[in-house]
Amino acid sequence: MNALAISLIQTALFWEDKARNLAMLEEKIMGISEKTNLVILPEMFSTGFSMKPESLAETMEGETIAWMKRVAISKKVIVTGSLIIQEDGNYYNRLIWMLPNGSFGFYDKRHLFAFAGEDQFYTAGKKRLITSVNGWKINLQICYDLRFPVWARQQTTESPEYDLIIYVANWPERRNHAWKTLLTARAIENQCYVIGVNRVGADGNQIYHSGDSMLIDPLGSVLFSNEHEEVIHHVELKKDLLNEIRSKFPFWKDADDFHILQDEQHD
């Protein structure tokens, strides 16, 4: 119950080509020989970070959700990453948490990247998703959410709310200093592990992504980082080490107690 085995897939993506992306990712996932509980894919893994939801969006009964379910069941792992979903007349950048039994949860990206026009095409999420696996509580976030620490902040001083934050991303190389700095900050301020999984390569807008996928421990030490290359990195996190750090340095107890409030119309 104390160990969590994770596989991070840092990969190039075929621009707006679902069939090729799903075939490529399935080959990578099914080829994992290491024992793993969780496989993490980048943001919009089936299309790249596209502003064409009208032609690329799927429903929750669509082909990519079915693909995630089939792969998770076949490989007996949790598969997570985000894709473009249409629901109730809106488009969402939605992270799916697909379990090995075919059930799932989801998180809709809260902070939409207005600099690229994401807010013009997509609807912002309203609720966080903190899930559990093997005794670990995991806070699931998407790319631009990283710039907003309040949304990720541990919201209780009674005990830590979660143990790991995962960010799936399409974060450009030109702003990779912010990516690496903020991932480290989120780990230190929340006394948790942080994983950022980014893509590599140029997208259809010729924006280059250097990857820089990272694993950072609760003290801010970088345990893994890789740039420019396609890579599948495997790691096993130990809950005992996390508990030891929090016990030795109980900074979390001195944090400001707060809660994020939503307007009634957003509930």
- Say how many C-beta atoms besides its own lie within 10 A of residue 182's C-beta: 19
> Integer distance in angstroms from the first to the last C-alpha of the chain?
34
C-beta of residue 72 within 8 angstroms of C-beta of residue 35: no
Active-site residue list: 43, 109, 143
* Lookup result for tokens 């996390």: 242
Pairing of strands 136-142, 208-216: unpaired
Element at 30 (helix H, strand E): helix 18-30
Closest CA to 196 of 185, 180, 210: 180
